Amino acid sequence: MVTRRHFISSMLACACCVPNAQTASSVATDDTSFQILCGMRHTPTVDSIENMRAARPEAIRVIKWVANLIGVRPVFEVLAADFKRRNIAVAATRGDHRYVIYDAKWFVFEDNRVSWYSIYILAHEIGHHIYGHTHGFKPDQHQGELDADRFGGWVVARLGGRLDQALAFMPYLSEKGGKTHPPRNKRIEATRKGWLAGAPSDYRLGFPR
């Protein structure tokens, strides 16, 4: 069990797939400060993520799949939590640790199965870590989101998912986007490009597998 107190000293870095996000903010806490880069309708605060706890084994499995895929040791950790606002998932750091925290409401694992949209979202958050967005390397927030979307599409393709499965989460995104998150059509395009880059050539040409 990871309590909220454990995260007082953490940096909550980037919320995923969150249309209508607001601008970055820094929040001072009792012993340090953490930076929040994006949110959905409200800028997330540590109070908006509650009951952090061990992730479901299915989510842990997805994180391991992605680490194996890109050839890194399993440096990403995943936690479940209750989100007060619809941030879906966030990438966060605490010291040397890199986390993906997901909203338990949005991730339903039935019969030990993992949905493609869950894979896409978790991969999107890992994309933020890989690109360095959780360590301040995010000169343009829209581009940062598109890069993470592209990575999500690539992961789905490499794990054998179809393009429509990579795009399964798109209807939940804001059509117009917001200050930090691009409009849906751009995110679809970034995800599609990632999927095309990752899919085998026969798949790209439309042949069934």
Per-residue binding letters, 114-153, with Zn ion (x by CB under 5 A): -------------------------------x--x-----
Closest distance of CB 180 from Zn ion, Å: 9
Of all residues in the shown chain, the one whose CB is closest to Zn ion is 16
Q: Where are the alpha helices (DSSP H) in the chain?
A: 57-70, 116-131, 141-158, 163-166, 184-198, 201-204
* Footprint of Zn ion on 13-32 (CB under 5 A): 16
Closest distance of CB 116 from Zn ion, Å: 17
Closest distance of CB 125 from Zn ion, Å: 7
CB burial of 86-103 (b: ≥16 within 10 Å; e: otherwise) equals bbbbbbbbbeeebbbbbb
Rounded Cα–Cα distance for residues 22 and 138 (Å): 15
Q: Pairing mode, if any, of strands 76-83 and 11-15?
A: unpaired
Rounded Cα–Cα distance for residues 171 and 208 (Å): 25
Q: Binding-site residue total for Zn ion (CB under 5 A)?
A: 3
Closest CB to Zn ion among residues 116, 203: 116
Is 173 one of the binding residues for Zn ion (CB under 5 A)?
no
Binding site for Zn ion (CB under 5 A): 16, 145, 148
